[in-house]
Structure 1
């Protein structure tokens, strides 16, 4: 993940420089528009992951094979349906409604077709990806991630330094399709060889289809809300502000994705354990995973984001040299939003593990959908584009409270205990850790001395605050023992 973060930041810089701000914004908004077609697929993907992990936790291989075969059939049919939607409604909206300069519309259509193909490949391989995560083969997950990153780095270097003349936006989009094809085929090949259930067969079991479709149907609400929050608001920014603001959001998203990758890998390893512990009825261990998972995922993200929150402008200047207006505020607000959202991740996994999500999705998904209309009203009233992130931050906190209330009824989760052990804990850690870096930032003049001092204080203060304030005695002992073991290995 460290390798991925560094390469991601480097490639984002080169892509922005090579494509230019306008083409970068076009790629960001067109790719985001294609992602809108994942409205249905995301709900089915969540359903596939949940049912595979649940059956794996139960240890029923026969049911596991039937669930995989049914999900593979569903995703194959869905890939074909989305192709039809993309080539009809998608083409019309791209050419008639989106704000794209006329001279770049041809290139935008190429990017659109490339994005659709890559999306279809990713959709078909969802059951295979879910199997890797369900079996907790994190080394394979990591190796494929490194391969993906290395291939993307090669593409960026090619379009930046190739001696041939070509439309770089078009070639960039087509080469990314090639990367997606290689990664997805690698996933499928590994799963077919190592997991008994992962056979390429298109069979349909009506019982599982009913269960999975019911789960996916209600999950559809949450997926719709999530897409409207991200890609829907991105389209609003394009319609009201144009591709330059999309470029600023794209840069902020690159920073957020690079930093959030560390937490993503942590959650990928944690989520199957939560579902499996629920499947076997080990509720004590399950609640321990939920609370600790929320705290430690927040700590990881907080340690990485705190220096960026203070020195955003200088970091962007060193990274990109030049960047569009609003980028600094977009980066800060998106990172704050991620810190808020991360507290809900284990709660979402626990809710999915129960399989009872109808009322939850209606309530939480309904509130999450407010992002789109409220953001529209803000932009319609000529508010700054930053307003859409402020709206998202407010809605995120409200959804966290709703999730806690629903889980209190469903799995007897103690709201008071969660607020004390998690929310108050991370808030205390954050305030204590940020105090000294804030003094250094506001007291010193802008420049390298302030930058280095702020970074140093952020790392030291956040580490000490997490260790002494955030961790329990047993957790501190665990960390201390691990450090001693590492010292022994290094010293020999």
Structure 2
């Protein structure tokens, strides 16, 4: 119990460090997004989103391996096998370099053809689009090669370093915005060039830090046939999950471009930008808790693992809902303050995107626990295969003339089905009782959602649409959500722990 308590304190400390990074990053990114949209214009902003999406489509090959890298490194660290960890690191660097060459080959053939023949891009911007495409390939490859280094940092739970690098990256993007305002050349090409330069600098920082602080990160050529087979088997089955995630996002983005043009890509990009800002709160928490889930499985501490999975999922939902409620109620006002001119469909797309996120965050820790087992074949065939159906279903929906928002409704339905199948499969994979998760996670989520919504909804429909109403609703949303989480969402022991921390905090101030 003492050891578990120390682990919980480490998770809390790491989460706090990541939140410092996130708050800084979110404020800067929300400002830079508005300036970039205004500077590039609607057309070029939409082009950057959709062209970059074509490149990201190729990460269907890398996403599965990236998950394998994180899992194997964290698992062996939990086992305490430093020698094996060194072999794994060198092996995965070899894999990522080889994979980068394959992706460049595919991107410069199939991807290039798709961009110039099939994409719905204005003729006068094709030259700039091709520049963006090439620079996006470079940015993507640099990010791919950085994965083993960032995975080691997270596995060792060095979240302060992770936070500092993130703050540097955000600051660099702020400099990019200034450069866009300063120069008069083709701003779309300049923007893509500067983003590629940032990726190169980040790759260099990761490499230098890991080589200096972790002995196993000194690369040497290694070929371990048994390890390669294990990793590629894991990655091969995880391909279904990684592929479905990309088809849900970038695949649908490209379909939207093909059927409705660049303007809707702008609306989708804006919705995703706000959602990403909200999700940073959740991702920081899960980044801190995920290594402990994998390490708990490695040491066969399943009871603690179940606790982390359940509590992590519940808190992820609470964090998302805290921001989602005011955004859902005052979407138009928030976008108007942020962007001044709100592109068509942005309000609807943002509401639907937030709805999808509320469902998806419940599964974050469930996915981590699945990956920790390493035995993912059956899971990915069922859950990953179900996710793959989103792309063809959206294509059919658009082909028969259904409206753009249909893709979000399809997405939401599939996510609910995936959650049900995850719980059913994990019952055997990690011995997680379904009713344990329902009682400790899903029921508190639903109770908090209903209780915290009542008063804000009452004000929304009883007050006139003014800036004063916006302020009142935001304040009431914060109060009702915090109150509902504390009274209804937390257990007695969780409330006692919070009370203890509050008393310590109060004592330090006084």
Q: TM-score, normalised by structure 2?
A: 0.95
Give the alignment partner of residue 260 of structure 1, picking from 247, 259, 279: 279
1:202 CA drift (Å): 2.7
Is the CA contact 2:89–2:219 (under 8 Å) kept in the aligned structure 1?
no
Separation in 2, partners of 1:144, 1:326: 35
Aligned to 1:269: 288
Matched, 1:13 2:41: no
Q: Deviation per CA, 1:49-90, whole angstroms, max 9, x where unpaired?
A: 000000000001111111111111000111111111111111
Give the alignment partner of residue 102 of structure 1, picking from 123, 126, 150: 123
Q: CA RMSD in A?
A: 0.8
Matched, 1:42 2:59: no
Separation in 1, partners of 2:357, 2:163: 22
Is the CA contact 1:72–1:202 (under 8 Å) kept in the aligned structure 2?
no
Aligned to 1:4: 25
Separation in 2, partners of 1:260, 1:225: 19
Aligned to 1:76: 97
Matched, 1:148 2:169: yes
Give the alignment partner of residue 24 of structure 1, picking from 41, 45, 57: 45
2:28 alignment partner, SS class: helix
Matched, 1:242 2:242: no
Aligned to 1:139: 160
Aligned to 1:169: 188
| Superposed counterparts of 1:289-300, under 5 Å | 289-300=308-319
1:207 CA drift (Å): 1.1
1:323 CA drift (Å): 2.1
Matched, 1:362 2:356: no
Instruction: Give the number of equivalent residue pairs.
Output: 489
1:383 alignment partner, SS class: coil
Q: Deviation per CA, 1:356-381, whole angstroms, max 9, x where unpaired?
A: 10010000011111111111121112
| Superposed counterparts of 1:50-65, under 5 Å | 50-65=71-86
Separation in 1, partners of 2:334, 2:505: 32
Separation in 2, partners of 1:197, 1:128: 11
Is the CA contact 1:36–1:231 (under 8 Å) kept in the aligned structure 2?
yes
Q: TM-score, normalised by structure 1?
A: 0.98
Aligned to 2:110: 89
Matched, 1:303 2:294: no
Matched, 1:444 2:463: yes
1:284 CA drift (Å): 0.7
Unaligned runs of 5+ in 1: none
Moved over 3 A (4+): none
Q: Deviation per CA, 1:160-208, whole angstroms, max 9, x where unpaired?
A: 2x1x320000000000001111112111111111011101223221111
Aligned to 1:231: 250
Aligned to 1:321: 340
Give the alignment partner of residue 300 of structure 2, picking from 260, 267, 281: 281
Aligned to 2:179: 158
2:215 alignment partner, SS class: coil
